[in-house]
Amino acid sequence: MNAPDAVLPLRSALHLALRQIEGTLAELGPDTFPGDTSDAQFYGPRRLDPAAPGANIGWTTGFWTGQLWLAHALTGRQALRLAAVRQTASFIHRMNAGVDLEHHDLGFLYQLTCVAADRLDAMPGARGAALHAAERLLGRFRPQAGIIQSWGSLDDPLQRGRIIIDGAMNLPLLHWAGALTGRAAFADAARRHLERTRAHLLRPDGATYHTYHFDPDTGAPLRPSTHQGAADDSCWARGQAWGIYGFALNHRHLPDLGLLDDAVRMADYFLARLPHDRIALWDLSLAHDSGEPRDSSACAIAACGLLEIAHQLPDDTARRYYRDEALALLLALHATCAGERPGCGGVLLHGVYHRAANLGVDEATLWGDYYYFEALARLAGCWTPSMPAA
């Protein structure tokens, strides 16, 4: 691909994404959090019992506030900043009140909100809340097993000793906290968790399992499983994308582990299994003519991962290859999945949350919107919460 050929359409994609974000903000207001996914292609107030509609609860709210901070960073518009500040204040309150924090997605929640607010706005209280989030994430580390438990309380009999491939994406919060405090425990926990993730969730061919179970007391590996994939031994597309981006990001902080080579293997597996239109089916094991839905969010995450891989590779030819593959994914997403009012409110259509549970199938998703927007922001030269401070 000739990179200049991608400039104009992707610049248009960025402007369209900004308009969609501002439209949702105008519809919902600065104090309302959208649902995990759109409903009939438009976001409404988040509804998770027993919380009030639009409350800051669940694992995905940071993707919405993260979009607002990125939009402000790109445009300098004060309306976006004020909305992002108000929403970030909700994350500070959520941490202080201990609302829905018994899971590993504290990185998604606080890296994209409070870390961004501290970096971009020096917002009072944001750094402290993010440090508390990192402490809570560190508190989920099981030293006997060498893992950070993904879900549930640490005494939950169904979740004790379980990790998921998504977890690699939450670890940059630990690296940030370790750099800020000088405490080695943050990086040590991330290192051990990544070593176990690589050993047991990453397969020899570059595919990934979604989840893996360990004995929480001895660390003995027990079995792989899936929660959202087609089968325990299939390759869930979004999980593969989390692995690509997560390993590439962690390579910045732990280069001696060689995680970039693993990210490349996962990326090659992902790219080799894309259909002709380059929009992944929700599970990479599915036949392209199966009639199963695409998951655009997996491609958005993977595009960020490919850009991160390209940024770190030392070889010019390999760097150009993975950057071009990222551009090709983004061009495909813009051509076939970009949302535009008045027909839809999401930034990125044709996502899938949970196919088996029929949740958010062929809808916009907050994470798909965020990572598509982040990839476009990266190309525009904008700092993002997933990148180190300049």
**Where in the sequence numbering do the catalytic residues fall?**
105, 166
Query: Quick one: which H or E segment has residue 328?
Result: helix 316-337
Amino acid type, 331: L
- Whether the CB-CB separation of 307 and 386 falls below 8 Å is answered with no
With a CB cutoff of 8 Å and minimum separation 6, the contacts of 49 are none
Considering just the CA atoms, what is the radius of gyration of the chain in Å? 19
DSSP 178-193: HHHH--HHHHHHHHHH
Query: Quick one: which H or E segment has residue 69?
Result: helix 61-75
Amino acid type, 233: D
Q: How far is it, in rounded angstroms, from Cα 302 to Cα 267? A: 8
Taking the CA atoms of residue 132, residue 136, residue 138 and residue 140 in that order, the dihedral angle to the nearest 10 degrees is 180
With a CB cutoff of 8 Å and minimum separation 6, the contacts of 85 are 117, 121, 123
- Tell me whether residue 68 is exposed, middle or buried, using C-beta atoms within 10 angstroms of its C-beta: 0 to 12, 13 to 18, 19 or more: buried
SS3 call for 60: coil
With a CB cutoff of 8 Å and minimum separation 6, the contacts of 158 are 152
Strand pairing partners for 281? 294
With a CB cutoff of 8 Å and minimum separation 6, the contacts of 7 are none
- Whether the CB-CB separation of 311 and 304 falls below 8 Å is answered with no
- Whether the CB-CB separation of 186 and 178 falls below 8 Å is answered with yes
CA angle 166, 84, 251 (to 5 degrees): 30
